[in-house]
Amino acid sequence: MTKQIIMILLVLPFLLWASPALGQEGEKDGGITRPVVTDEDVSTTNDVLAITTQTMGVVFNPTGTGRCEVQITTMPEWAQTAVNRAAAIWSTLLNGPIPIQIDICWTNDPSLPATGAGLLASCGASGEYADFAGAPLSNLLYPLPLANQLSNQDRNGSAPDMQCRINANRTDWYTETDGVVPAGKIDLVTVALHEIGHGLGFAGTANWDNGAGLMECNGTMNVGCYEATPMIYDHFVERTDGTKLLDLPNNTTAVGSALTGDALVFSGSNAIAANGGTAPRLQAPGTWVLGSSYVHLREEVGDPDLANGLMTPSMSSGVAIQHPGVVALGMLKDMGWEIYDLSRTYVDRNNTGLENGGVLHPFNTVLEGISAVPHAGRVLFFTGNYPESLIISRQMTLESISGPVVIGIP
């Protein structure tokens, strides 16, 4: 007898435990899926001539110093699977002609920030470029993966576009890809997804000086600063009163106060639209925390479904957020990434051509469809059998466009 699965129902409890800092990291999610089968009027959501989804490759460095400039050890296959899953999720969301290569380093070096004091991972682009052909704005740095797309040029060749270091010393990694995370475990898919987000654009040049002689800015306590050529992320940062950070005089306490005044927002129009018409708040607590302040969304109260929690600075054990959320995607779109509205995605097993999740170019697997759709989104299926085994761990609606849809392995 054929085993037919229209939908797998799953309830994940919301657990808020002590949150370890993320080398640049964030996480939370839960929800219940609801099976719905309805007729759907076919309408276009993406451009007819839209390019295909992004190709994102992952390279796991062997033992030795590696290209991440840290001492590394061999990453177990069970951990590699989780990181590959994170890269695949981003691949369904981004669009661009130039493949992105990510170096992953499984590091057990105790002297590095990536493995100290509860930190989980760190990640960043392998370079930044300004004033290149195709750059939307002048005198601003764009992270290498984005600069490649905007200029339609692979600047790094076979070298990595992004480097990520993951703490190999932790014993609490959860490396399954189903999003059903046991209490006390940290979801590696979520961590990797978050870290890749930093390499794609969640990175800025602002800093705050503690006056302890490290010369973060000019050596004076409470002074804030930014680079002479800022990042594209910096360009969109404002105070809640509408003053752009980059309009404040550099190397001053005015910048320092802005960075620690809990009143910073991201002013891009796509981010504002995704956040219900309000500029999303950025993490700017009264005490500056390097690697946490400024380059993350603010930890918000009132987001029980954690739909936009991925790019916040900390995460709780026992939960998973396996989608960037519409606010983070809006921010990346403001920075220059080609990202479509995937609040509803289309899936057609028989599609063998271009894929971007729109009705004219649907994904051909259920996994791609549910990976791209945000919390409470809709996945619409062309009729057919989809022999896949999967678990859906956040709220979404599955719908048939015209006829029977069977999901599951016979």
Q: Would you say residue 241 lies in a domain?
A: no
Q: How far is residue 193's CA from residue 197's CA, in Å, rounded to a whole number?
A: 6
Q: How far is residue 336's CA from residue 262's CA, in Å, rounded to a whole number?
A: 26
Q: How far is residue 217's CA from residue 203's CA, in Å, rounded to a whole number?
A: 17
pLDDT in tens, the chain (410 residues): 333 333 322 222 222 122 333 433 333 332 222 233 233 333 344 444 445 678 999 999 887 776 788 888 899 999 999 999 999 999 999 999 999 999 999 988 766 555 555 689 999 999 999 999 999 999 999 999 999 999 999 999 889 999 999 999 889 999 999 999 999 999 999 999 999 999 999 999 999 999 997 889 999 999 999 999 999 999 999 999 999 999 999 999 999 999 999 999 999 999 999 999 999 999 999 999 998 999 999 988 557 678 999 999 988 899 999 999 999 999 999 999 999 889 999 999 999 989 999 999 999 999 999 999 999 999 999 999 999 998 998 899 999 998 999 999 88
What's the whole-model pTM score? 0.87
How distant is the alpha carbon of residue 317 from its chain centre?
Answer: 18
Quick count: other Cβ atoms within 10 Å of Cβ 211? Answer: 14
* Tokens read off for 394: 């956040």
* Tokens read off for 173: 């990694």
Q: Would you say residue 367 lies in a domain?
A: no
Nearest by Cα to 318 from 2, 19, 106: 19
Q: Would you say residue 309 lies in a domain?
A: yes
At residue 270, the pLDDT reads 97
Q: Would you say residue 25 lies in a domain?
A: no
* Tokens read off for 277: 């018409």
Q: Are 26 and 5 in contact (CB under 8 A)?
A: no
Write the single-letter amino acid at 195. E
| Number of domains composing the chain | 1
At residue 177, the pLDDT reads 96
Q: Are 135 and 149 in contact (CB under 8 A)?
A: no
User: In 3-state terms, what secondary structure has residue 167?
Assistant: strand
Half-sphere exposure of 27 (CA within 13 A, CB side): 33
User: In 3-state terms, what secondary structure has residue 103?
Assistant: strand
Query: What does DSSP assign to residue 214?
Result: S
* Tokens read off for 56: 């994102």
Q: Would you say residue 161 lies in a domain?
A: yes
Q: Would you say residue 316 lies in a domain?
A: yes
The domain in which residue 274 lies consists of 51-206+252-335
Q: Would you say residue 256 lies in a domain?
A: yes
Q: Would you say residue 259 lies in a domain?
A: yes
Query: What does DSSP assign to residue 280?
Result: P
Task: Return all residues near 171 (Cβ < 8 A) that are at least 6 apart.
Answer: none
